[in-house]
Amino acid sequence: MTERERIYSDNISNIAMEISISHVWRERIFALKGGEVLKLSANDKDIIPEYIRDVIVDNHLSFTIQIVEKCEEEYDEGLVIFKFSSDEFPKITAYSGNNPLII
């Protein structure tokens, strides 16, 4: 694994969690229509949660976020699954289960 892959791998879970609980990002993700994706990158520094901002901005990380029907992780019925993928290393992914009633 390269140093760059390690940075993505070491941080993707925290990024998925922080984005998933961010009101601003939840609104944007839940607004996606079937098949649409949302990009997250250093260009979004003004709306990236503080806890993960530096690692994304300093390392120029970029991610694709989308809503998926299924994943290898199990979530309670009724939750909406967000998938986070590294743009550079698409196999580096994380998921979160989200209550659609909470924006």
Predicted confidence band of residue 57 (pLDDT cuts 50, 70, 90):
very high
The H or E element spanning position 55 is: helix 50-59
Burial (0-12, 13-18, 19+ Cβ within 10 Å), 40: buried
pLDDT score for 34: 87
Mean pLDDT of 44-64: 98
Q: Across residues 62-82, what is the average pLDDT?
A: 94
Distance in angstroms (rounded) separating the CA atoms of residues 91 and 24: 26
- According to DSSP, the residues that pair with 84 across neighbouring strands are 65, 94
**Residue 87 to residue 65: CA distance in whole angstroms:** 10
59-66 average pLDDT score: 98
